[in-house]
């Protein structure tokens, strides 16, 4: 397949691109290169004949039309988004612009392109929206999200992703665009921008700084290694049923404080300091309206498509910690651009 992947210079998009090229697909990476993008993430495929890069904003309809006409993709996998909850608290409009408007523009351009395709390309075409489990809101101590869970987003980020999901379904129902949606739990792994929990903990610990934990650290997240997510996404793109939703998770629910302690223990092995890294843990003001718990029942994707996660959290965290230690120059270049994993997302007047 020739897959047009939006957001391919980001964390998850770049993992999908590396996997897709490895699997023999052609890829067009469409990315605006915002602050979280990094073309180093796709450096390993840059010279591959099946790889092309287009710097473009998904809100720019004319550019998108030219890219679709020029590359003629067989499928679209849409990951471009503003992705960080704390930033959405500080600046929600960027999230509405990219995640809602950008998705609508991309859907319109994809629809016009798809409508003119000849068979069998038309029937084979797919528009896959990569979304989050955060659209379902927060769970209490029990239960898991499924594909049937009602939408109840909390943050401007999750509300904008929920809106995008609704738009994708509407384009499927109204215009017959062949769509599929995945809602995935929290990802971690190499090349994650050091503003999300796991890379923030690792990089700040390596720099001898305090390790911030929001609130009491009792919030629960279901962690999935990014390579498992990439595998799930390509599985759904190839074999998922049209107009369906698939919930994707790692079956690895842990309290944030447990995950932070696991990382500290791993760091004590590979990058020991004068004191145990866990001594640098500092409980800080909680995120406003911090969702208490996410957990995913991923039995549908396993039953129908045979996908299940392969990487355990222990293995994945050990590998991720090692990756950041060995590739600290990747972090340093981000620091040189002015990002220091400082606190974001406290509500200001």
From 54, 133, 228, 251, the catalytic residue: 133
Question: For residue 35, what are the contacts with CB-CB under 8 A and spacing of at least 6?
Answer: 193, 337, 339
Establish if 195 lies at the interface with ligand NAD (CB under 6 A). no
Residues 236 and 301: beta-carbon distance below 8 Å? yes
DSSP 3-state of 148: coil
Q: Which stretch binds ligand NAD (CB under 6 A): 30-38, 42-50, 231-239, 326-334?
A: 30-38
Establish if 58 lies at the interface with ligand NAD (CB under 6 A). yes
Tell me, yes or no, if 147 is annotated catalytic. Answer: no
Pick the closer one to ligand NAD by CB: 59 or 305: 59
Tell me, yes or no, if 157 is annotated catalytic. Answer: yes
Q: Which of 29, 36, 155, 200 binds ligand NAD (CB under 6 A)?
A: 36
Instruction: Give min distance, CB of 1 to ligand NAD, in A.
Output: 20
Read off the DSSP letter of residue 225: E
d(CA 128, CA 240): 10
Whole-angstrom Cα Rg for the chain: 20
Q: Which residues within the stretch 86-145 sit at the binding site for ligand NAD (CB under 6 A)?
A: 98, 102, 130-132
Q: Which of 3, 139, 184, 230 binds ligand NAD (CB under 6 A)?
A: 184
SS (H, E, C) 317-335: HHHHHHHHHHCHHHHHHHH
Tell me, yes or no, if 188 is annotated catalytic. Answer: no
Residues 232 and 307: beta-carbon distance below 8 Å? yes
Cross-strand bridge partners of residue 182: 130, 246
Total of residues contacting ligand NAD (CB under 6 A): 31
From 26, 57, 82, 134, the catalytic residue: 134
Read off the DSSP letter of residue 100: I
Active site residues: 133-134, 157
User: Interface residues with ligand NAD (CB under 6 A)?
Assistant: 6-7, 9-13, 31-34, 36-37, 57-59, 79-83, 98, 102, 130-132, 161, 184, 186-187, 193
């Amino acid at each position: 397949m020739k897959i047009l992947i939006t957001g391919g210079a980001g964390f998850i998009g770049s993992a999908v691109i590396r996997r897709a090229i490895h699997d023999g697909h052609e890829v067009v990476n469409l990315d605006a290169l915002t602050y979280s993008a990094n073309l180093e993430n796709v450096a390993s495929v840059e010279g591959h004949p099946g790889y092309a890069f287009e710097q473009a904003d998904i809100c720019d309809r004319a550019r998108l039309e030219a890219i679709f006409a020029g590359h003629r993709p067989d499928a679209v996998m849409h990951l471009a988004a503003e992705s960080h909850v704390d930033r959405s608290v500080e600046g929600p409009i960027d999230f509405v612009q990219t995640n809602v408007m950008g998705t609508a523009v991309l859907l319109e351009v994809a629809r016009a392109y798809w409508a003119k395709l000849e068979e069998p390309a038309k029937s084979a075409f797919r528009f896959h929206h990569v979304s989050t489990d955060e659209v379902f809101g927060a769970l209490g101590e029990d239960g898991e999200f499924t594909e049937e869970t009602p939408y109840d987003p909390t943050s401007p980020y999750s509300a904008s992703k929920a809106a995008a999901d609704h738009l994708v379904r509407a384009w499927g129902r109204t215009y017959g665009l062949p769509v599929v949606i995945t809602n995935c739990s929290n990802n971690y792994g190499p090349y994650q921008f050091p503003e999300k929990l796991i890379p923030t903990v690792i990089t700040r610990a390596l720099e001898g700084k305090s390790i911030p934990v929001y609130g009491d650290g009792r919030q629960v997240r279901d962690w999935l290694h990014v390579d498992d997510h990439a595998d799930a996404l390509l599985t759904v793109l190839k074999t998922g049923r049209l107009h369906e939703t698939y919930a994707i998770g790692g079956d690895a629910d842990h309290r944030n404080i447990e995950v932070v302690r696991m990382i500290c223990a791993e760091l004590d092995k590979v990058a020991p300091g004068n004191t145990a890294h866990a001594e640098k843990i500092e409980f800080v003001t909680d995120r406003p309206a911090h969702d208490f718990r996410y957990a995913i029942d991923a039995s549908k994707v396993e039953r129908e498509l045979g996908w299940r996660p392969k990487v355990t959290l222990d293995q994945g965290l050990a590998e991720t910690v090692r990756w950041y230690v060995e590739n600290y120059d990747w972090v340093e270049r981000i620091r040189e651009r002015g990002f220091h994993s400082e606190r974001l997302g406290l509500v200001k007047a």
